[in-house]
Amino acid sequence: MSIRDIVNQTRSVKKLDLKNKKQFTEAFNVPIQKDSDVDDFDTKLDKTQLKSLVKYLNKLKLDDIPIAGGPGGIKIRSAQDKESEITKWAKENTPDLKISGFGQGSIGKGGGVKISESTQELMVAALVLNKVKSGNIDEVEAVKMIEDAKKVYNKIEGASGRPDLVDQFNSNFNDLATAISSSNAILKVVPNPVKAYWTGKGWGPDIAKYNPPVGGVKDYNSSDIVVKGGDGKFYGFSLKKKARSKDVDPTLINKPITGNVGILKDILGARDVAQIEKSKQLFFDYVIFQHYKENPKKIDPKEKTKMIGKITQKQMGIYLKDRKNTFFRRVESILSKNAEDFVKSFIQLLFRTKMKGIEDTGEFKFYLLTGIGRFIGGTVEVEEAENKDTPSTIEALTKIFNSKLEMKKTPGKLQAWEKGAGAAKVFFSIFSDGAKIIDLEIRYKGSYTANPQFQAVATPDFKKIFK
């Protein structure tokens, strides 16, 4: 079978999948590109208005699949820098159409398979082994590149832990775009790669010594892949990705605030963390009492978890925005009290500044790498990646640490418990000499029985410091 035949076959399968797509359990995984997709979409939304929105978004050329649909409604994809513009247009032109959010959704192969974050990491490793350096390519070239990448999949150390992910390479042109961008950058650093390691399932014997606990933090070395060069040295890359250079940067961190892997235990003292945990338990006791009219003190902890899990997302959002949410208020209080120390420790953890100690052996180098690219209009578009090594990172952060550092409530945002709050979140921003450099959110993501997440995003002013 020729490459052209493979592409034509892929296109036929895609059309068939879109025509006969079913509702999956994953939210926001139904691709909506055209009017026929709207017709097939099982939704109570106004389909006439939805078609108008599709037409409008297609004109903006944000993404080949502008909308991801699901039981919860619709999510607009690849529109990070146009949210306000789109929201305004929708309010004026499709007023009855509820937009559930902006993001990527979980569209994958066949429109219903969620693509793992690990897939792009493994794809980068495969391209590096194949010494791929490339600019924009068409779909025919993309299919061939993916087939070549699949041939070396089993040569990646650690890939055997996820044999299923090689199938997610197929037709995954968006991840391919960012993987090419990353491969271009890596091959500038390691022009003669002889081995690649994926750390998603652990650090193998060759590289384990480069990931010692640092300050009690397990997996302080956040390299997603490690490449061994012809010079015998190892090069670690912490990988991020985004569609376009002008898009908002990907989240710097997305970790629980409390629990065994919680970020706060690595920054705050045991006493403060214990107070936050206690406040969390008191809040959930309050929720159980309000919702079920039962005494939480007489209920087994495991049963409490089940009871919380049965409460709808909408209702939990109401409870989280209650002034009696002592959990979120305690977090705000403790972080504000320890603002200066928290900020420095948090930034050091974000950017792994203590990697210098590991690098001092002369055997290992660490990089923060963001691959940039997307698939649109039948073309895999590749932009130059952003790649920062430890010395340049420390140099930039030294400037920050020598400035006046502050952490305050994000201007224009309301905390969850404040009157008129639109989201059940806690918002903070970090300022350097008055310039906002990092935006922080504390929010629940998915299950309310899990710990809420810390999310951090760098601002344009922060990026200026690195230039």
Residue 59 lies in a domain: yes
Question: In whole angstroms, what is the distance from residue 352 CA to residue 367 CA?
Answer: 10
Domain boundary among 64, 80, 109: 109
Q: In the prediction, which pLDDT does 261 show?
A: 56
Whether 324 and 286 have beta carbons less than 8 Å apart is answered as yes
Please give the full DSSP string across 211-231, using - where no structure is assigned: ---BTTBTT-S--SEEEEETT
Q: How many domains does the chain have?
A: 3
Kindly report the backbone phi and psi dihedral angles of residue 246, in degrees, each rounded to the nearest multiple of 5, phi listed first.
-80, -10
Residue 350 lies in a domain: no
Both 105 and 121 in one domain: the answer is no
> Element (H or E) spanning 439, and its range?
strand 435-443
Question: In whole angstroms, what is the distance from residue 212 CA to residue 123 CA?
Answer: 26
Q: What is the pLDDT along the chain (467 residues), one digit of tens a residue?
A: 454 454 454 444 344 343 333 333 345 778 888 888 888 888 889 899 999 999 998 888 777 788 888 777 888 887 766 888 898 899 999 988 888 877 655 554 444 456 888 999 999 999 999 999 999 999 999 999 999 999 999 999 999 989 989 989 998 999 999 999 999 999 999 999 999 999 999 999 999 999 988 766 778 899 999 999 999 999 999 999 998 988 877 787 777 676 655 667 767 777 888 888 888 888 889 999 999 999 988 999 889 888 988 888 788 888 888 888 888 888 888 888 877 778 888 888 778 888 888 898 899 999 999 999 999 888 999 999 999 998 888 888 888 888 888 888 999 999 988 888 888 889 999 898 999 988 988 887 766 666 778 888 888 888 787 76
Please state, in angstroms and as integers, the Cα–Cα distance from residue 182 to each residue in 37, 370, 381, 439, following that order: 33, 7, 13, 25
Both 10 and 84 in one domain: the answer is yes
Both 288 and 431 in one domain: the answer is yes
Both 237 and 141 in one domain: the answer is yes
Both 412 and 384 in one domain: the answer is no
Range of the domain at 168: 117-247+355-390
Both 413 and 384 in one domain: the answer is no
Residue 260 lies in a domain: no
Whether 233 and 248 have beta carbons less than 8 Å apart is answered as no
Both 69 and 191 in one domain: the answer is no
Q: In the prediction, which pLDDT does 314 show?
A: 81
Q: In the prediction, which pLDDT does 16 show?
A: 34
Both 372 and 310 in one domain: the answer is no
Domain boundary among 87, 109, 131: 109
Reduced to 3 states (helix: H, G, I; strand: E, B; else coil), residue 41 is: coil
Both 228 and 333 in one domain: the answer is no
Q: In the prediction, which pLDDT does 253 show?
A: 75
Whether 78 and 246 have beta carbons less than 8 Å apart is answered as no
Residue 349 lies in a domain: no
Q: In the prediction, which pLDDT does 240 show?
A: 93
Residue 87 lies in a domain: yes
Residue 18 lies in a domain: yes
**CB under 8 Å to 80, separation ≥6 — which residues?**
102, 247, 248
> What's the count of helices (H) and strands (E) in the chain, helices before strands?
15, 15
Residue 129 lies in a domain: yes
Amino acid residing at 402: N
Both 219 and 104 in one domain: the answer is no
Whether 338 and 208 have beta carbons less than 8 Å apart is answered as no
Both 155 and 40 in one domain: the answer is no
Domain boundary among 109, 137, 153: 109
Please state, in angstroms and as integers, the Cα–Cα distance from residue 48 to each residue in 34, 44, 51, 86, 158, following that order: 12, 11, 5, 17, 49
Both 178 and 228 in one domain: the answer is yes
Residue 259 lies in a domain: no
Question: In whole angstroms, what is the distance from residue 383 CA to residue 132 CA?
Answer: 14
Q: What is the pTM of this model?
A: 0.71
Q: Which two tokens stand for residue 365?
A: 């180098």
Strands 426-432 and 379-389: unpaired
Please state, in angstroms and as integers, the Cα–Cα distance from residue 330 to each residue in 276, 282, 402, 433, 463, following that order: 6, 11, 29, 27, 31
